[in-house]
């Protein structure tokens, strides 16, 4: 982090110095990370857990699993999964062999027609 102090006024510099002193005082009162980590590990062991189970990184034990009857979480994206074939919804009137199912980016033939001001409903397969 870099603060350009050359552009600060005397009042702003004093405020910054006071904030820095408060932060330094707060940090100096904290116990070292190693001491806190050791206390947490001991407390977790006393209760029958590991720190990894409590804060992530390891599989949960049977005592901390979800209750029975909960539904599995739904997939958030379909990236990397094949969705299967879908019947075409749109057909090119100039070449009836060209169709589009409505998924993904529209084909060039449809984009051209839409750029000309035509409506997508005109190309629906009835």
Task: Give per-residue pLDDT as tens, 37-91.
Answer: 899 989 999 999 888 888 876 555 555 455 555 666 776 777 777 777 889 999 9
Same domain, 59 and 25: yes
Would residue 53 count as lying in a domain? yes
Q: Which domain holds residue 107?
A: 90-123
Same domain, 55 and 99: no
CA distance 7 to 5: 5
Mean predicted lDDT score pLDDT of the chain? 85
Q: How many domains does the chain have?
A: 2
Would residue 84 count as lying in a domain? no
| SS3 category, 124 | strand
Same domain, 20 and 60: yes
Would residue 49 count as lying in a domain? yes
- pTM summary value: 0.37
68: left (phi over 0), alpha (psi -120 to 50) or beta: beta
Taking only the tens place, the pLDDT of each residue in 20-35 is: 999 999 999 998 888 8
Which residues in the chain belong to E strands, given as ranges?
A: 90-91, 99-100
């Amino acid at each position: 982090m870099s603060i350009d102090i050359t552009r600060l006024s005397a009042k702003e510099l004093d405020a910054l110095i006071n904030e820095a002193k408060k932060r330094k005082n707060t940090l100096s009162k904290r116990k070292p990370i190693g001491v806190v980590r050791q206390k947490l590990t001991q407390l977790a062991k006393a209760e029958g857990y590991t720190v990894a189970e409590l804060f992530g990184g390891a599989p949960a034990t049977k005592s901390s699993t979800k209750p029975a009857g909960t539904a599995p979480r739904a997939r958030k994206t379909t990236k990397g999964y094949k969705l299967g074939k879908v019947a075409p919804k749109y057909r090119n009137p100039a070449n009836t062999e060209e169709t589009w199912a409505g998924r993904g980016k529209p084909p060039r033939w449809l984009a051209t027609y839409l750029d000309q001001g035509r409506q997508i409903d005109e190309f629906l397969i009835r």
